[in-house]
Every structure is written in structure tokens, then in C-alpha cells.
């Protein structure tokens, strides 16, 4: 089974700040990471390949610096990776991004596409559904388990608020892995060295894909950001509870809530 995993190279939200005058992200000096929710999609893809055979390809549409993220994915065990990058793709909203990714993925051999549930820098959760729509394949989200049944079919289990649902899907299909699903495996140096020694990361630009420039990037994005509001940081008391047991922790929490007027008993 050949699997493609879409990952996003996002600013590390533990260090990102907002320019209060312009309302935009201050990216200068801010390190980027693989979207944490995509790590669960990566782990699910690698586990499926390990059990049922095939290959895993990581793909991202991002500036050239995202190569570091793809090197991490290869270090985890992905067979190869594709960086889709071009100035023509800058400023893309989810529609233009999913269109570009769909065209890029169409150049790959795949039975299954995996994405994370959402991204930590926008949380729209649009890309999975939009990709499936562009590629005309079935899509399931909040997926917590999956296995290949053979004959081009897959069993999939997804989690809802108060229930689980099970499906049998015909491949190719697209799944969005639920957040907090797995513990992603560690990077192995021997795997990561393949980026240098075997050139397993391909770089595709718009000359490669040949897309109409009015359909990609900012020109291909109907989304208009009318206004951005700055929300001041909420002051924290930074009090740490160190209870002996759960009963004492509960008593401590209730007393603090009563003391601050959030609870009356």
C-alpha cells in the first residue's frame, strides 16, 4: 500500500508572538516545526506500511526552509519526500493550497492519503476535505485506527464525541488522523542520513507542476482577511498545586475556585 502524508511546516506556537500594530505573526527568529497533529498522521502511515508493506511519501507545500521538516519525516522512516515550493504559491489560503497539493499528489502513486486533524497555526481543518474533493476520493476524519483488508479495501475506525464508527472503504481514500492518537516514533540518524546520501527529497516548483498562476497562491485565494484583533495575554497567578493525592488536589482546586468567586458552596 502506497501512502502519501501531507505535513505542514508551522511556527512553533510556544514561541510565536503577534505584532500589536499590524496584527500579524512575528515570524522573524521564530523556529518552525512539523504541525504536531501531522505527526500522528505520519506515525499512522509508517505503522500501516510496517504491517502491510508499501511505501510512505511525505509532502508539503511551503518555503524552502520546510526541507528541515521533510528531513525529520524521512528520519522517522518515510521512504521519500516532496517539497512543493515556489514564490507563485505564497499567500495561498486553504483552497489554493489544497488545489496545488492535489495536483502535486496526482503525480505520485498512492492508495491512501493521510493528513492531521488540523493545524495549530490556523485550525481550519479544511485541507483534508478539500484535497479529497479535488481528487474525487472518499474522506474520513477523526480516525483512530485503520487496517488494510486486501483487494483494495480498508477498515477504518473513527471517534466521535460519544461513539465510535467503523467503515469499510474502497481505496484510494483520504483519512485525517485524530489528534493525540499515537506517540510518534523517534528520528533515527541512519534514516535521516538518506536525505544526504540518497537524495530522497525531491523539490517541485511551478515549472514542475505547470499550474495556471491565477489558480495558486494569493491570486488563487478567495479568502479575504478583513480585520485581525489582538487579544491581550491573560494574566496568570502561576500557582502550583503539589498535593499528596487526588482528594487533596480536589479540595485545593475547589478552595481556589471559591476564593476567586468562580464557585459558591
Kindly report, residue by residue over 136-175, the tens digit of the pLDDT. 999 999 999 999 999 999 999 999 989 999 999 999 999 9
Kindly report, residue by residue over 208-251, the tens digit of the pLDDT. 999 999 999 999 999 887 777 777 778 888 888 888 899 999 99
pLDDT at 225: 77
3-class secondary-structure state, position 126: coil
Contacts 24+ apart (CB under 8 A), 16-22: 18/230, 20/230
pLDDT at 234: 80
**C-alpha to C-alpha distance for 26 and 182, rounded to whole angstroms:** 31
> Are the C-beta atoms of residues 146 and 156 closer than 8 Å to each other?
yes
pLDDT at 20: 66
Output the nine-digit C-alpha cell for 214.
491565477
Kindly report, residue by residue over 108-140, the tens digit of the pLDDT. 999 999 999 988 887 888 999 999 999 999 999
Kindly report, residue by residue over 63-107, the tens digit of the pLDDT. 999 999 999 999 999 999 999 999 999 989 999 999 999 999 999
pLDDT at 15: 65
Q: 185-189, 201-205, 237-241, 258-262: which range is least confident on average? A: 237-241
Q: Is residue 11 scored above 90 in pLDDT? A: no
DSSP lists the bridge partners of residue 231 as none
pLDDT at 23: 56
Kindly report, residue by residue over 35-63, the tens digit of the pLDDT. 999 999 999 999 999 999 999 999 999 99
Over range 182-200, report the average pLDDT.
93
pLDDT category, 265, cuts 50, 70, 90? Answer: confident
Kindly report, residue by residue over 14-33, the tens digit of the pLDDT. 666 666 665 556 666 778 89
- Angle CA 25–225–64, to nearest 5: 50
pLDDT at 27: 63
Output the nine-digit C-alpha cell for 215.
489558480
Amino acid at each position: 500500500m502506497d501512502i502519501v502524508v501531507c505535513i505542514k511546516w508551522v511556527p512553533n506556537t510556544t514561541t510565536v508572538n503577534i505584532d500589536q500594530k499590524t496584527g500579524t505573526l512575528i515570524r522573524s527568529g521564530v523556529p518552525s516545526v512539523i504541525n504536531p497533529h501531522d505527526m500522528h498522521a505520519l506515525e499512522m502511515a509508517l505503522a500501516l506500511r510496517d504491517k502491510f508493506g508499501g511505501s510512505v511519501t511525505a509532502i508539503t507545500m511551503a518555503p524552502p526552509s520546510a526541507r528541515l521538516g521533510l528531513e525529520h519525516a524521512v528520519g522517522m522512516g518515510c521512504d521519500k519526500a516532496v517539497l512543493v515550493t515556489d514564490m507563485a504559491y505564497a499567500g495561498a489560503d486553504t483552497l489554493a493550497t489544497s488545489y496545488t497539493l492535489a495536483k502535486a499528489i496526482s503525480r505520485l502513486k498512492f492508495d491512501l492519503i493521510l493528513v492531521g486533524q488540523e493545524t495549530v497555526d490556523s485550525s481550519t481543518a479544511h485541507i483534508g476535505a478539500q484535497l479529497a474533493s479535488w481528487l474525487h476520493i472518499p474522506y474520513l476524519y477523526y480516525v483512530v485506527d485503520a487496517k488494510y483488508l486486501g483487494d483494495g479495501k480498508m477498515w477504518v475506525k473513527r471517534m466521535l464525541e460519544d461513539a465510535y464508527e467503523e467503515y469499510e472503504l474502497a481505496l484510494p481514500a483520504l483519512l485525517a488522523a485524530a489528534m493525540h492518537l499515537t506517540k510518534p516514533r523517534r528520528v533515527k540518524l541512519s534514516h535521516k542520513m538518506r536525505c544526504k546520501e540518497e537524495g530522497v527529497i525531491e523539490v517541485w516548483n511551478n515549472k514542475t507542476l505547470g499550474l495556471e498562476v491565477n489558480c495558486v497562491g494569493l491570486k488563487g485565494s478567495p479568502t479575504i482577511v478583513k480585520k485581525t484583533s489582538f487579544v491581550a495575554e491573560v494574566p496568570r497567578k502561576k500557582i502550583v498545586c503539589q498535593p499528596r493525592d487526588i482528594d487533596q488536589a480536589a479540595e485545593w482546586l475547589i478552595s481556589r475556585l471559591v476564593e476567586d468567586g468562580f464557585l459558591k458552596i
